[in-house]
Structure 1
């Protein structure tokens, strides 16, 4: 009898991802266009999957490009998607296009970060967030999540830190639930250690918390828009996020325009 300990890496990963997605064998087999019996054989290690079924299962499980590559490799196949460094020559057109987008967002801040919040590109408006921050938080590579919530970073100027900080960490928690990652879990634990206690009433909407930022010119209220590259075929590009900040009121818009023109 085949036991869990005797199954190979593909069988273990397939079972793990099905559990993460909370799918029955029948649900997943229907999505992937196969039979429950065959899927059961795969999970027991009794059948060796072909590359095509691994690809279909990864698609059916809605895995990221990085996760799809890992599932293919666990079955003994080469990765399907390249992974380039953001600074690679092949991504030069993408970098140039992103810089154009960042510049076009001025006078409002906008940044490009990787999956862990490492800053890759920013427009001039990003300086709004670095004022009076500890120098060690601004040494490359800058992690914008840490910069935002660390007591020596932006946090000391955030007027609604308990609410806004949890808006940040809950977004990361959602990502970690979709794509479990020990490094991301460690980052969330670190960030939550910086946050003061919060009394979140029944009217709290964690997904819609504006940033209330104290500045010398008055309070700014900012909302965030997130753009990802869902149709990318390069792992690094697919994991990028463009975070663009927008004014939540006319007073903020006016102050940011005046600041940029000064």
Structure 2
């Protein structure tokens, strides 16, 4: 079973690339982020024609997350996180599919920092941690997949100096991510590349892709029941180099059974 997280950076603009990826790789479950589309404009017909059922949580022009399943319809469990009734951002969607609980996550960027956007990011991480703790207590097989907008370690970026003032790499952001892992989650990509050097994002600016000046912010966190089934993890990097591609590449895990 192949489970993918993919920030598409606008599903309408990247739909040809997404459909291409689904046809070529045929992943079993795909978590999408940054749809930048309202619920009404999500391309359900095209996704279904590609062989995938879908649940989505859209927002016009911003954010937006979805869960796709090959040959099946995901069953929605929860959209949004508790803890802030005024938070209208579409950033969290949790579904049941193929015997798993799968969440698609688009954690806030937090720039510029310091400031209210960074404060919102840190509060959001805390709210995610509360939900993650509750999921572990259910003892279900869970995958928390998405764009976390956190560079966890110095070797997860092409340049520590270039990213030093960015919200993605601040101590508080990293501490929140580490606290999440400490609950008992496995960072799947890290287990396969313990020395780092694996990127999932390359900016459109300054020739970042051509220079391989990227960093890792897309993560798949596995509950113990899923971590025991892990057979592989990686990044389908070549898709970042295609015409009119997202600035993220799909990251994935493979599971036994």
Q: Would you call these one fold, judging by a TM-score over 0.5? A: no
Structure having the larger proportion of residues in helix: 1
Which has more radius of gyration?
1
Under a length normalisation based on structure 2, what TM-score does the superposition of the two structures give? 0.27
- Between Structure 1 and Structure 2, the one with more strand by share is 2
